């Protein structure tokens, strides 16, 4: 399948018509509601539940803060506590643009205090132990916090130690980059890329096996970098290699087929069944487990994507899956539709920590949170959970600076486009503008529980 381009300059009638629709949607404010998907489930009756319940939310990231805002509005008299020691808020979808030199770190930094509602008590601690049999969590100051209902929204943990010789402190030195860790490391990744651009050589772009957040990010980094080389007229001085741990590049089959053709067309060689197992930072050699045994590749720059897992307190608690595909990584055991824990009825989860077939994006968080709030209120009222999350996830798959494909799909891997005029299989300027200029606003509205 070849890419169907819709460049800024082709000036065709269809493009003009799409621009008009886009501008109209923007001015109507409809885009911010739809940017992370239009199918947000809201409580139909909109009533406020009077309750004295103690609700504890663990994690004040995208999911935790969004849950806090929605719950604060949907209840009266509840004692809502959010636990997270992190005070700064990271707009993680922007890290891809920081690591590729499009944005600076300032563009992804914010403060949690701007978003946590005043009626919610914020404990600036970290949960070190979950004890769901006794309805309590322990924090790192050795306090126990009792709850009636628990919402788990801790995000996930990057497991650099699964790669021998690799450590997060190496990011931004010795030709090593990683988009996933934090804004400072994303920025240093770009510095490494710039040095690499000046020198030329072999660039390796890796992808870890298993569930990772924003699975499009490693692909976007490779494509944006390749485009940058062409823009600078230095492409012929580079050998670019992408290593895939299995035989696919993306879970949605149409997009996967497209990418399998598109990467070689752009001269990015794909190495199938290559799992990064070790890095020798001093000699710039990477070791991979392959079908034919261990293989070592020399590089000048490497983009490292570590395996990801649920944070240790979840992994080591009875809240984690203990069998099946989500036991690897210790993900939170929730029903993939209701987001309710499968064994503890007073526990729900949202965001990257949950063990569901897909859904580690902010777009998924936006779809999950209203379902969790609705179902929690139902359970608090003595009814059963009846709202269902369909697995919605979305990725503005950036193919070049200025162009992206807006890919949206569900648990069945079926494309579910939010905007009729955006073809998900087309690299277009509209999804790029969304990613570059508009997603941040939509994300903030989601944090406030407004969309
Ligand atoms: C490079 C990159 C690119 C991305 N691109 C996109 C994109 O284009 N589109 C998209 O939709 N999504 C994208 N995402 C994914 C998106 O950012 C995440 O899916 C989303 O942030 C998940 O929200 P969360 O609340 O589950 O986790 P987070 O936002 O990570 O928040 C988790 C919070 O829990 C806290 N916490 C952890 N452990 C504990 C504990 N033990 N006790 C208390 N608190 C704890 C942490 O401090 C943190 O504040 C991207 C992510 C990255 C890294």
Tens of pLDDT along 277-305? 999 999 999 999 999 999 999 999 999 99
C-alpha to C-alpha distance for 219 and 235, rounded to whole angstroms: 18
Q: What percent of the chain has pLDDT over 70?
A: 90
* Ligand 1 binding residues, C-beta < 6 A: 58-64, 83-84, 86, 92-93, 95-96, 126-127, 153-155, 179-180, 213-214, 217, 311, 313, 351-352, 360-363, 365, 394-396
Question: Is the pLDDT confidence value at 33 over 90?
Answer: no
Q: Domain 160-306 adopts which CATH fold?
A: FAD/NAD(P)-binding domain (3.50.50)
Residue 426 or residue 9, greater confidence: 426
Q: What percent of the chain has pLDDT over 90?
A: 84
Is domain 1-85+124-156+310-451 classified as CATH 3.50.50.60?
yes
**Ligand 1 atom 23: residue of nearest CA:** 62
Q: How far is the CA of 360 from the centre of ligand 1 (A)?
A: 8
pLDDT of residue 12: 39
Q: Quick one: average pLDDT of 13-24?
A: 48
* Residue 291 DSSP label: T
- Would you tell me how many other CB atoms lie within 10 Å of the CB of residue 107? 15
pLDDT of residue 35: 58
Q: Quick one: average pLDDT of 155-167?
A: 98
pLDDT of residue 4: 39
Answer yes or no: are the C-beta atoms of 373 and 43 closer than 8 Å.
yes
pLDDT of residue 41: 56
Give the pLDDT band of residue 422 (cuts 50, 70, 90): confident
Terminal Cα-to-Cα distance of the chain (whole angstroms): 35
Q: Quick one: average pLDDT of 125-146?
A: 98
Of the candidates 156, 332, 376, 395, the residue annotated as catalytic is 395
Q: How far is the CA of 274 from the centre of ligand 1 (A)?
A: 26
**Ligand 1 atom 35: residue of nearest CA:** 59
Answer yes or no: are the C-beta atoms of 171 and 95 closer than 8 Å.
no
What angle, rounded to 10 degrees, do the helices at 217-231 and 183-199 form? 40
pLDDT of residue 28: 39
Residue 55 or residue 396, greater confidence: 55
Answer yes or no: are the C-beta atoms of 283 and 444 closer than 8 Å.
no
Question: Is the pLDDT confidence value at 44 over 90?
Answer: no
Give the pLDDT band of residue 30 (cuts 50, 70, 90): very low
Residue 96 CA: which ligand 1 atom is closest?
Answer: 1
Which residues in the chain are classed under CATH 3.50.50.60? 1-85+124-156+310-451, 160-306
Residue 350 CA: which ligand 1 atom is closest?
Answer: 26
Answer yes or no: are the C-beta atoms of 362 and 442 closer than 8 Å.
no
- Ligand 1: which of 36, 84, 122, 224 to mutate, most ligand atoms within 8 Å of CB? 84
Residue 439 or residue 296, greater confidence: 296
Contacts with 2 (C-beta within 8 Å, 6 or more apart), sequence order: 261, 262, 265
Q: Identify whether 395 is a catalytic site residue.
A: yes
Instruction: Tell me the pLDDT of the chain averaged across its residues.
Output: 92
Burial of 415 (0-12, 13-18, 19+ CB in 10 A): middle
Structure tokens at 51: 């309750």
Residue 90 CA: which ligand 1 atom is closest?
Answer: 29
- With helix as H, strand as E and coil as C, how does the chain read? CCCEEECCCCCCHHHHHHHHHHHHHHHHCHHHHHCCCCCCCCCCCCCCEECCCEEEEECCCHHHHHHHHHHHHHEECCEEEEECCCCEEECHHHHHHHHCCCCCHHHHEEEHHHCCCCCCEEECCCEEEEEHHHCEEEECCCCEEECCEEEECCCCEECHHHCECCCHHHCCCCCEECCCCCHHHHHHHHHHHHHHHHHCEEEEECCCCCCCCCCCHHHHHHHHHHHHHHHCCCHHHEEEEEECCCCCCCCCHHHHHHHHHHHHHCCEEEECCCEEEEEECCCCEEEEEECCEEEEEECCEEECCCCEECCHHHHCCCCECCCCCCCCCCCECECCCCCEECCCCCEEECCCCECCCCCCCHHHHHHHHHHHHHHHHHHHCCCCCCCCCCCCEEEEEEEECCEEEEEEECCCCCECCCCCCCCCCEEEHHHHHHHHHHHHHHHHHHHCCCC
Question: Is the pLDDT confidence value at 40 over 70?
Answer: no
Of the candidates 83, 214, 244, 314, the residue annotated as catalytic is 214
**Ligand 1 atom 39: residue of nearest CA:** 154
C-alpha to C-alpha distance for 372 and 445, rounded to whole angstroms: 18
C-alpha dist (Å) from residue 313 to 26, 153, 264: 42, 12, 42
Query: Which pTM does this prediction carry?
Result: 0.93
List, for residues 194-237, the tens digit of each pLDDT value. 999 999 999 999 999 999 999 999 999 999 999 999 999 999 99
Q: Identify whether 353 is a catalytic site residue.
A: no
**Ligand 1 atom 29: residue of nearest CA:** 61
Q: How far is the CA of 66 from the centre of ligand 1 (A)?
A: 12
Residue owning tokens 């399998």: 260
Using alpha carbons only, how large is the chain's radius of gyration in Å?
A: 22
Give the pLDDT band of residue 429 (cuts 50, 70, 90): confident
Of 416, 220, 420, 428, give the one whose Cα is nearest residue 407: 416
Q: How far is the CA of 59 from the centre of ligand 1 (A)?
A: 9
Q: How far is the CA of 229 from the centre of ligand 1 (A)?
A: 30
Answer yes or no: are the C-beta atoms of 135 and 341 closer than 8 Å.
no
pLDDT of residue 176: 98
């Amino acid at each position: 399948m070849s890419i169907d381009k819709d460049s800024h300059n082709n000036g065709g009638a269809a493009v003009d018509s799409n621009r008009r629709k886009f501008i109209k949607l923007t001015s109507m404010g409809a885009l911010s509601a739809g940017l992370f998907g239009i199918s947000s489930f809201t409580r139909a009756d909109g009533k406020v539940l009077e309750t004295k319940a103690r609700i504890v939310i663990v994690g004040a990231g995208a999911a935790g803060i969004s849950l806090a805002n929605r719950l604060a509005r949907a209840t009266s008299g509840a004692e809502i506590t959010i636990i997270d020691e992190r005070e700064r808020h990271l707009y993680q979808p922007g890290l891809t643009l920081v690591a590729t030199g499009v944005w600076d770190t300032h563009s992804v930094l914010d403060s949690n205090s701007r978003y946590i509602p005043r009626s919610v008590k914020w404990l600036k601690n970290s949960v070190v132990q979950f004890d769901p049999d006794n309805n309590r969590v322990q924090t790192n100051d050795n306090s126990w916090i009792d709850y009636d209902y628990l919402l788990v929204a801790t995000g996930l943990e990057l497991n650099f130690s699964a790669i021998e010789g690799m450590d997060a402190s190496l990011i931004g030195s010795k030709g090593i980059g990683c988009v996933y860790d934090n804004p400072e490391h994303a920025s240093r990744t770009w510095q490494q890329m710039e040095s690499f651009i000046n020198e030329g050589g072999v660039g390796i772009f890796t992808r870890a096996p298993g569930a990772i957040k924003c699975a499009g990010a490693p692909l976007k980094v490779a494509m944006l970098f390749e485009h940058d080389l062409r823009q600078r007229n230095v492409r012929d001085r580079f050998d670019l290699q992408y290593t895939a741990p299995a035989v696919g590049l993306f879970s949605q089959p149409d997009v996967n087929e497209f990418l399998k053709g598109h990467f070689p067309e752009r001269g990015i060689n794909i190495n199938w069944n290559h799992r990064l197992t070790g890095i020798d930072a001093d000699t710039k050699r990477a070791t991979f487990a392959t079908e034919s045994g261990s293989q070592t590749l020399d590089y000048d720059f490497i983009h490292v994507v570590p395996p990801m897992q649920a944070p240790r307190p979840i992994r080591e608690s009875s809240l984690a899956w203990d069998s099946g595909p989500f036991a690897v990584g210790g993900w939170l055991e929730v029903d993939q539709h209701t987001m309710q824990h499968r064994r503890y009825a007073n526990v729900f989860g949202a965001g990257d920590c949950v063990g569901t077939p897909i859904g580690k994006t902010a777009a998924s968080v936006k779809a999950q949170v209203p379902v969790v709030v609705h179902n929690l209120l139902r359970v608090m009222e003595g009814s059963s959970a009846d709202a269902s999350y369909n697995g919605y996830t979305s990725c503005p798959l950036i193919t070049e600076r200025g162009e992206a494909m807006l890919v949206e799909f569900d648990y069945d891997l079926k494309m579910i486009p939010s905007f009729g005029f955006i073809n998900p299989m087309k690299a277009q300027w509209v999804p790029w503008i969304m990613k570059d200029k508009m997603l941040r606003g939509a994300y903030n509205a989601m944090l406030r529980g407004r969309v």
